[in-house]
Structure 1
Amino acid sequence: MAGPGDQLKLFILAGEPSGDRIAADLVRRLKQRVPLAFSGVGGTELQAEGLHSLFPMSDLAVMGISDVLLRLPLLLWRVEQTARAIRKARPDIVVLVDSQDFSKLVARRLKMFGFAGSLILYVAPSVWARAPQRAAKLKPFFAEVLAVLPFEPAVMERLGGPTTSYVGHPALGERLSRNALERGPLVLLPGSRDGELRRHLDLFRQVAERIADHPAVDGIVIPTLSSLHDRMVRETAAWAVPVRVVSDRAARADLYRQAVLALAVSGTVTLELAFAQVPEVVTYVLDPHQARIYARHGRPPVALPNIILGRPAVPELVQSAPDSEVMLAAVRVLLNDKKARQDQIAAFGELSNLMETGEDRFPRQDPADRVLAHWNQRPLSAS
């Protein structure tokens, strides 16, 4: 068992901005509880907590088979590099945040090395959407999965996956309370990965240029990461309408309070918008491989608010080819209908309450508690 004053040795890896935020929140929670020494891979948020990243997090921020194939040699090297670094550091606990395929490859490599510490996967894979057989395949690798969606522990249990606990999402701490606004900025969230930006940014431009003069729209704003700020400024400089780019977290929070509507690429940001009670239209342009998989699985919902609530609370537009007309129409419908925006806000309140508490059998837990539970179980001679 861990003794009083012992130092927790943690290796933590985040492969993309949403995971970086989750990982940084976990590190902050652990620092409040125990002496902590940590290493790993992360972005600006983990680095702000003192992490010296093993390599740039952006190396892992890929989505879609075409993006993966382009970076496959680098990704395979990063798997080996990560596993070797963990083996050398001999941490008590490894937390791999999201980046599902990469995380599983690292876990498999660590098992081959005979790594004796606890491996925790933070953010459950979407086995409920496709490939349910993946749940049981995770069990040999991970001591526990920390889920950010309230229904996932029950799903993982039913499918024979690892022990799974619901821990909520850091953005829950930024819940707002407000009504639909008559007028405000239109927020554009075109993604953060290179592939997402390639597929969505010009599409968002076409919508913005044709909706900017709507009486409910008071300017176009793109909140982004600090690492993408200059790129967004450059790429929007030639747009036919002025665009304000913000990358400061406080500025983003202020923007959400003022926003009339958001157009967002499907992902964790759709939950952040819901917690901030910003009405939204959710979209995603698939690459050809993603489109085939999506069709094969019956075109399931992709917007997290819709998935969690089990109903179409927000419009979602999943496209195999970019279609600005369809997107423009969906945005215009919401801008013209304040009651529809207010209905979304009411649904977001229901969603936030559910995510605050979790389900009856799987109530929300503190992620630091779950990590420390594994640390406290280790023999005193370990590490």
Structure 2
Amino acid sequence: MNASGGGLFLSCGEISGDIYAAGIVRALRSLGYDGPVSGMGGPRASEAGTEIFRDFRELHLMGISDVLPAIPRLLRLRKELVERVFEIRPDALLVIDSPDFHLPFVSSLRKKGWKGPVIYAVTPTVWAWRPGRVKKLARDVDLCLPLFSFEHEFLLRSGVASAWSGHPLTDEFASFIPRKEEPGRIALLPGSRRSEITRLLPPLLECARLLRERGFHPVFSIAPGLSPELRSWMVHALKDEDVWEEDGRSLLSSSIAAAGASGTASVEAMMLGRFMAVLYRGSFLSWLAWKTLVNTRFISIPNIIAGEEVYPEFIQERATGLNVFHALERFLRGGEYACHVRRSLALAKEAMGTTGAFRFWAGRIEEYLSAGETSRKRMVRS
């Protein structure tokens, strides 16, 4: 472990956060930063040159039944990270996503007297729910680095320091070589979490049957990285279907349209200009919480960016194979509706910003890392 102090201390708690951490560290090195980087991360951050103090998978919990027994362990983990920050006294602290852990972590640091700069990448979705977190960001965080322009604008309106130039996906798709589009292929993407897969597979199987009857070729995605048990269950459930076990992005690029879970897949479909029907089915309690607490009209990011329902959203009892089939059929008939969808998707893609997001983030972080003590005191709150 680094005992000399200084440098960057980072913390992430998800697979996606580990990917973002690695991208940031590599961009920092490309800018010439040669100070130490350590903290809580995973294999990707480690490969990028981060000295791992704790493995991010210690935060990987599946649901309330996992969270409650884990609370004492999570409190100990937070305490250890706080102690580590005060031990090495880094030049700056970077936290990525995982707000349920990171907001209390940063608050604990501040209460114990930490005056150094804190940067928050992939900020909490305060624009959608739990807006009270805005006050915590304004109080404890020096700079936010959100993914989307609408998040950036919301944070600025709320008095939170924020910087944005684009989403890291813009770089990935700038270099992505799409597969050849297969006539009639429809991508069906039931997701990567057990709960969404088990709830969405039945309506998607119904939709697949209807598509085949009309001469289309439905292909189901089995997401890479599933547990062996879940993958085996899916393979059996889809034994009579065509399946795709490579990355879903390649399946989307080779398809004329798609249907599936909201989330990353819908953003990737937008980046590829592919139409998608979005499904959501949750437990009664999770949907009740969504209806009660979430302050947004839509569940998919492309629709939020566009400000309209470009991707039809079928939620709870409306998430049926017949409804999804009709939505796909309407788009595939062409005409003004299909033209409007394509125009809206192109505008939404533009709203993802410019390439070079990691380099932009690294540049802002490096300003804190390279500032002298006097300048740093001016950069952080008194």
Q: Alpha-carbon deviation of 1:255?
A: 2.7
The structure with the larger Rg is 2
Match of 1:333 in 2: 326
2:166 corresponds to 1:173: no
Match of 1:255 in 2: 251
Q: Which moved more, 1:35-44 or 1:48-57?
A: 48-57
Q: 1:237 to 1:133 in 2, by over 3 A?
A: closer
Distance 2:217 2:53 in 1: 43
Match of 2:363 in 1: 369
Q: 1:267 to 1:14 in 2, by over 3 A?
A: farther
Aligned counterpart in structure 2 of residue 270 of structure 1, from 266, 286, 306: 266
2:88 corresponds to 1:95: no
Q: Which moved more, 1:137-146 or 1:46-55?
A: 46-55
Q: Which moved more, 1:228-237 or 1:147-156?
A: 228-237
Match of 2:379 in 1: none
Q: Alpha-carbon deviation of 1:172?
A: 1.0
Q: Alpha-carbon deviation of 1:25?
A: 1.7
Distance 2:250 2:219 in 1: 14
Q: Secondary structure at the match of 1:356?
A: coil
Q: Alpha-carbon deviation of 1:110?
A: 1.4
TM-score when normalising by structure 2:
0.80
Q: Secondary structure at the match of 1:237?
A: helix
List gaps (5 residues or longer) in structure 1.
1-6, 192-196
Match of 2:219 in 1: 219
| Matched residue type, 1:257 | S
Distance 1:253 1:8 in 2: 40
Aligned counterpart in structure 2 of residue 238 of structure 1, from 232, 236, 246: 236
Q: Secondary structure at the match of 1:165?
A: coil
Alignment of 1:31-110 (within 5 A): 31-33=29-31, 34-51=33-50, 53-62=52-61, 68-110=67-109
Distance 1:381 1:150 in 2: 29
Alignment of 1:181-330 (within 5 A): 182-184=183-185, 186-191=187-192, 197-213=193-209, 214=212, 215-225=215-225, 228=226, 230-239=228-237, 240-242=239-241, 244=243, 246=245, 251-297=247-293, 300-319=297-316, 323=317, 326-330=319-323
Q: Alpha-carbon deviation of 1:373?
A: 1.8
Q: Alpha-carbon deviation of 1:276?
A: 2.6
Q: Alpha-carbon deviation of 1:221?
A: 2.0
Q: Alpha-carbon deviation of 1:98?
A: 0.9
Alignment of 1:96-135 (within 5 A): 96-135=95-134
Q: Which moved more, 1:138-147 or 1:108-117?
A: 108-117
Q: 1:188 to 1:308 in 2, by over 3 A?
A: same
Distance 2:57 2:258 in 1: 25
Match of 2:380 in 1: none
| Matched residue type, 1:108 | S
Report if aligned partners of 2:187, 2:252 keep a CA contact under 8 Å in 1.
no
More helix, by proportion: 2
2:344 corresponds to 1:347: yes
Match of 1:9 in 2: 7
1:205-230 alpha-carbon deviations (Å, 9 max, x no partner): 323433445232253222333xx353
TM-score when normalising by structure 1:
0.80
- The two structures, once aligned, show a CA RMSD in angstroms of 3.3
| Matched residue type, 1:355 | M
Q: 1:90 to 1:183 in 2, by over 3 A?
A: farther
